[in-house]
A and B are shown apart, each in its own frame.
Chain A
């Protein structure tokens, strides 16, 4: 942004020397060195649990290093707190957002700004800046009603308003469309041209190659390489990250496509939330052996669609939803599970799993009424069948490679990728006839994503109908047999994946299939 230094020659803005962070006996960061220069996008790569977040939290003052030092503009500095970091000119966009759901966009941004920046018409400034950088936001919207993608825009705009010298971004494109991601890249390019430095954390190697000037790769808390991403290939970068070559998802010949197992016909649903999206005349069919993927920009009705199919939100009318040939509008989520359906929501923490509960209790969460093994986990007054739960936990951990420090750890201590493998594995382990997943691999490392996608394909080849809601086009093309696009609560017809190009999907995401054109945000 409008950095006062007109010095175009790159200079070292932030340098980390011999920094280590110890949690108990465990080195999350072991003697790392890193230097970030002005006018450059610096990539920080590594699998989940490699120590990227720890390192970044120290730069942002949220954690203090066990040893080593941080130099800011050439001077050794102790970054005491995030507020101090912001004073210095370090802004950060977190992967997990720190927003108050009950407040509006403008209120949330105002809370994090120093007093002098709160003056004047903040809402107008937010609207202008967000539009300017291609991240449109309605300042009056309630955060509770926004999608993950829109919440991320708030965080980005919040940082930009403070005119940072260094912007740290943790997995920023995980929830964006290709067009949105490209818009973000132009934002970032503009920022670095203005003399800002960007530290960019990502799993997406293609985009790292596209926009980053330097790359530091971490594995198990240690620095393994510093490379120029432009000259490396995605495969060599992945190999450095993982330490071995990444498993490629394989889709052998298409399986048998059978009868329709999930269908929605002329579904209308008025959203119960004040800023939610209404679903308008949604029609879809998923057949046995088929994977249907719904693409779309965050906040276009995906959450609403998921909850009406899962039964978390009930549709008052009848004959719109049919599961395995049975009208299901009146059924609650557990009755739908009993029919043979399974659901994986978008937010793994707080929705799909409870942070402070053990893994076995988290299995109980979605499976207490499923009666899968012929015996219920709930034995009434005799209590919960803990033995069966422990067996399920073991089976899920082994089959879906859930890595954890204790057999029955609390969900909150698993890394994002491992928790996602657990949450997906918990449902796949039931061999459901119908599976609905919202954002199957959001914010998950390459290894875990490949495992989850392969498991989903394997399930469909065994004759299950699978509906995937995703914003990740790579993922959609990797998995889907048929693709539909959702935009402002309207779903396009389904097309065979082979008929569609990214450009065409991009146009549909922008609403080319909609029946009535409305101005966005009007």
Chain B
């Protein structure tokens, strides 16, 4: 009885109530809310570090867009994020959790680099095409390892795909310090510089490259597939209602293979584009964690390929802005990872509001009863 009275005396109560239908408005609004929360909390952190928060936020988010060279730089960084992000968006939609895009990117770059490093004399547009294909193939094959482990032994793909990242990175490290080291490179751990048709066509100030078009095309094609074709329908159904998927004759096993091959292939392609584009050779570090950041890009973009384009640009700004405030305010560029982490955290939090609503329950009409009871 005591417990009951306590219950009744509470005036208001904040509860999460399941919505009868998922909210379409919140689906769009949740990433925006997450961005606002990230900016506010980011400002508080800047203030706590003794930096002027408004200046810091300006330098972080707005300044990169105020000059043409930094906009170009943002696009160059957005390219791989979008390319990997759209693949992961499809994966996550199908409830397949590829966390190892960073490793697939690395293996893609390694595979594609076979041509400039071992057949340096083959100069033809076909050589570049072959590099792109090998890059995608390498990423896809590497991604099929967790797919195989999952479908044959039931091993959790989150763990295996993540662990394979470190294997891939050590593999790259070994190659550039060992067999593929440039003999004329003063013993630096780098491969020969790629030349001629082993580099992607560039334009602008010399940083914008063909890979951006690849990213855009991949996003548009996947948007079409997800929106209008049976394959997109299959991905949706298998991901959200597996039993209905079986009833429709869609195979879950095949879906795991498909998703890993697709997202791994795109990540491998992104890796090759990085080494054949902005970097121009193999080196121990070829990606500032694009493969992991793309996970945030996929979620921020609502797992929708078009949304991923915008999310990719936003996350690219966070890289450039991080470098900017390091120079201007002397804050460690690790702040980039902090912002990216906060963003993912807030998106996942705000996504709760798509299926649930916050409700104040007032126990006002109950006051007289509570009087009776006590």
- On A, residues with C-beta under 8 Å from B are 64, 69, 75-78, 80-81, 84, 87-88, 310-312, 332-334, 337, 343, 345, 347, 350-357, 361, 364-366, 368-369, 377-378, 380-381, 383-384, 410, 412-413
Contacts and interface: CB of A to CB of B under 8 A. Distances in A.
Contact of B248 (A77, A78, A368): A368
Interface in B14-28: 15, 21-22
B247 A80 contact: no
Given A75-B372, A332-B249, A80 B244 contact: no
Contacts of A352: 244, 247
A75 B372 CA distance: 8
A78 B369 contact: yes
A99 B365 CA distance: 33
A78 B369 CA distance: 9
A168 B300 CA distance: 44
Contacts of A378: 229-230
* Listed residue (A334, A384, A410) with the most chain B CB atoms within 10 angstroms of its CB: A384
Contact of A365 (B22, B244, B361): B244
Contact of B233 (A334, A364, A413): A364
B368 interface: yes
A350 B233 contact: no
Nearest to A345: B247
Given A78-B363, A78-B365, A357-B237, A384 B249 contact: no
Contacts of B22: 356
A16 to B, nearest CB: 15
Given A76-B366, A365-B237, A383-B228, 5 more contacts: A78-B363, A80-B13, A351-B247, A354-B244, A384-B233
A350 B249 contact: no
29 contacts: A69-B365, A75-B369, A76-B369, A78-B365, A78-B369, A80-B361, A84-B4, A84-B7, A312-B246, A333-B247, A333-B248, A333-B249, A334-B249, A345-B247, A347-B243, A350-B241, A353-B244, A354-B240, A355-B241, A356-B240, A365-B244, A366-B248, A377-B230, A378-B230, A380-B229, A383-B228, A384-B228, A412-B21, A413-B21
A389 to B, nearest CB: 11
B3 interface: yes
Contacts of A84: 4, 7
A381 B241 contact: no
A202 to B, nearest CB: 25
A381 B247 contact: no
A244 B122 CA distance: 85
Contact of B230 (A76, A356, A368): A368
Contacts of A368: 230, 233, 248
Size class of the contact patch on chain B: 20 to 34
A312 B41 CA distance: 50
A368 B228 CA distance: 13
Nearest to A335: B249
A64 B229 contact: no
A87 B365 contact: no
B279 to A, nearest CB: 35
Contacts of A347: 243
Q: Is the interface of B mostly helix, strand, loop or mixed?
A: helix
Nearest to A413: B21
9 residue pairs, one from A and one from B, having the closest CB atoms: A383-B228, A334-B249, A78-B366, A378-B230, A354-B241, A333-B249, A351-B243, A365-B248, A354-B244
Given A87-B7, A369-B249, A384-B230, A354 B365 contact: no
Contacts of B8: 78
A383 B372 contact: no
A227 B232 CA distance: 54
Contacts of B361: 64, 80
A427 B129 CA distance: 48
A87 B373 CA distance: 15
Contacts of A410: 21
Given A78-B363, A380-B229, A87 B243 contact: no
Contacts of A64: 361
Contacts of B372: 75
Given A80-B363, A378-B230, A87 B247 contact: no
A380 B247 CA distance: 20
A357 B236 CA distance: 10
B214 to A, nearest CB: 19
B373 to A, nearest CB: 8
A24 to B, nearest CB: 11
Contacts of B13: 80
Contacts of A353: 244
Interface in B356-371: 361, 363, 365-366, 368-369
B4 to A, nearest CB: 6
Given A87-B3, A361-B233, A380-B229, A312 B21 contact: no
Contact of A87 (B4, B15, B229): B4
B37 to A, nearest CB: 27
Contacts of B224: 383
A387 to B, nearest CB: 13
Contacts of B241: 350, 354-355
Nearest to B366: A78
A347 B246 CA distance: 13
Contacts of A354: 237, 240-241, 244
A76 B247 contact: no
A69 B361 CA distance: 16
A356 B22 CA distance: 9
A426 to B, nearest CB: 11
A377 to B, nearest CB: 8
Contacts of B3: 87
Contacts of A380: 229-230
B247 A366 contact: yes
Nearest to A307: B246
B368 to A, nearest CB: 7
Contacts of B368: 76
A351 B4 CA distance: 41
Contacts of B247: 310, 312, 333, 343, 345, 351-352, 365-366
Contacts of A333: 246-249
Contacts of B248: 333, 365-366, 368
A263 B349 CA distance: 53
Contacts of A310: 247
A364 B22 CA distance: 22
A353 B233 CA distance: 13
Counting chain B CB atoms within 10 Å of each CB, the highest count among A337, A343, A350, A354 belongs to A354
A370 B366 CA distance: 58
B9 to A, nearest CB: 12
A97 to B, nearest CB: 15
